[in-house]
Amino acid sequence: MQLKSQLLVAAAVVAGSVHLAQAHVFIWGVFVNGVDQGTFNGIRTPAYNGPPPRGYSNSPVKDLDSIDLRCNILGDKQVPHTIKVAPGDNITLDWHHNNRTVADDVIDFSHHGPAMVYLSPDPPAENSFVKIWEKGLYELGSAAFSPGKWATTSDIKANKGLMNFRVPAGLKAGFYLVRAEMVGLHEADARFDTVPWRGAQFYPNCVQIEVVGDGDVELPSGVSFPGAYKYSDPGVHYNIYCSTEVAPKLPCTDASTYQIPGPTVWSGAWPETTQVPLGPVSGETTATRWSSWIQQSVVTTATFVGTSPVVVATSTYKASWSATYAAPTPTA
């Protein structure tokens, strides 16, 4: 089954079959100029973090020194499909939690924070990730302790999981990785390096694209992952309940501004991005029960007796990023 092969050792949970922890959001599909490219096609889907039925995909990355901050766990693994795009194309990333439908909750209502899109040659190198889109806090709360309006919840969640950007004008043909992420700041008043059960939650996910055409614009120097964010950054260590017009009784800095983590948006990116009309979803809206998962760098593979997983093998997983591009292995 094509869906299983594209998920590698990760797969998505059958919608509605179990109650999952909220917020564990990842990209289920990509639209190019409104045309869906197929569920999970081109997407380096993150690993599940435990066996059925309690595991979930895309645990937040909180360790800012981890290679998982680049594209999440399994982000180093190519998938068979690469999406072809051209400079100027409108790209819509379809983020979801349990299933690819408009009824899906996308991300928990408490997980306010910014959203960003970076672009890097594939494979990434030192300082190769260039920010091409971002959105953070865009309206202050009107009452004490109200968090205001944020990209993750008041924009993307409210828009049924859709995130939009455009391929930079004149971009040189070649293979690239789109690194998109949402950030939950609901526990970011604490720092993960000092309070490891709390801290900002990063949800990165990468998509393989091939830019075609005769463009000659090369990406400038960017940032590295890990390395782009620090625990002391004001956009990482931040209390969302300071984002209000009414000063709460909390130790707050400037309540009227929020500094999105990372560099500024590249001047070569499109200054405005608007959503285009979308066609129907192509492919599955739910996904099969997963048979492999990763916990603390151990990959467990199982078979099933009825609904119960029976472990058949274990191995050690360590991210291994190639320095040279190799064409993905096609599926049978």
pLDDT number for residue 16: 28
Residue 156 backbone dihedrals phi, psi, to 5 degrees: -70, -50
Residues constituting the chain: 332
Q: Which amino acid is residue 285, in one-letter code? A: T
Taking a C-beta distance cutoff of 8 angstroms, is the pair 191, 199 a contact?
yes
- What integer pLDDT is reported at residue 290 of this predicted model? 87
pLDDT in tens, 151-195: 999 999 999 999 999 999 999 999 999 999 999 999 999 999 999
Give the pLDDT of residue 58.
77
Taking residues 283-301, report their average pLDDT: 90
Residue 244's Cβ-count burial label (10 Å; 0-12, 13-18, 19+) is buried
**Token pair in block for residue 246:** 């009414």
Q: Give the pLDDT of residue 246.
A: 67
Give bridge partners of residue 171 from the DSSP assignment. Answer: 217
Q: If residue 139 lies in a helix (H) or strand (E), which one and from where to where?
A: strand 137-139
Is 9's pLDDT higher than 50?
Answer: no
Q: Can you spell out the DSSP letters for 87-103? A: TT-EEEEEEESS-SSTT
Please tell me whether the overall predicted TM-score, pTM, comes out greater than 0.85 for this model: yes
Residue 229, pLDDT score: 98
pLDDT (tens digit, 9 = 90+) per residue, 98-157? 899 999 999 999 999 999 999 999 999 999 999 999 999 998 888 777 888 999 999 999
Q: For residues 267-274, give the mean pLDDT.
A: 93
Q: Report residue 154: phi and psi, to 5°.
A: -80, -15
Name the β-bridge partners of 85. Answer: 211
- Strand-pair partners of 301: 292, 313
Contact in structure between 44 and 57 (CB atoms under 8 Å): no
On the question of pLDDT at 6 being above 60, the answer is: no
Residue 8 has pLDDT above 70, yes or no: no
- Assess whether the previous peptide bond of 226 is cis (omega < 30° from 0): yes
Question: What's the maximum distance between 2 C-alpha atoms anywhere in the chain?
Answer: 61
Q: Does domain 1-291 have CATH number 3.40.605.10?
A: no
Plot region of 186 (φ>0 → left; ψ -120 to 50 → alpha; else → beta): alpha
pLDDT at 4 over 90: no
Query: For 219-236, what is the mean pLDDT?
Result: 97
Average pLDDT over residues 317-324: 94
DSSP assignment letter at 8: T
When pLDDT is cut at 50, 70 and 90, the band that residue 13 belongs to is: very low
pLDDT recorded at residue 298: 95
Per domain, the residue ranges of the chain are: 1-291
Separation in Å, CA 258 to CA 68, 130, 153, 253:
25, 20, 16, 10
Residues 58, 96 contacting (CB under 8 angstroms): no
> In one letter, which amino acid is 258?
Y
Residue 69 DSSP SS3:
helix
Instruction: Dig out the tokens for 234 from the structure.
Output: 């004001």
Q: Taking 50 as the threshold, does the pLDDT of residue 17 lie above it?
A: no
Q: How far apart are the first and last CA of the chain?
A: 9
Decide if pLDDT at 22 tops 80: no
228-266: pLDDT as tens digits: 999 999 999 998 888 777 655 566 655 567 899 999 999
How many CA atoms within 13 Å lie on the side-chain side of 246? Answer: 8
CA-closest candidate to residue 44, choices 76, 12, 66: 76
- How many angstroms separate the CA atoms of 176 and 87, rounded? 12
The runs of H, that is alpha helices, within the chain are 2-6, 68-71
Note the pLDDT tens digit of each residue in 71-107: 999 999 999 999 999 999 999 999 999 899 999 999 9
Q: Across the chain, what does the average pLDDT equal? A: 88
Alpha-carbon distance of 52 to 50, in angstroms, equals 7
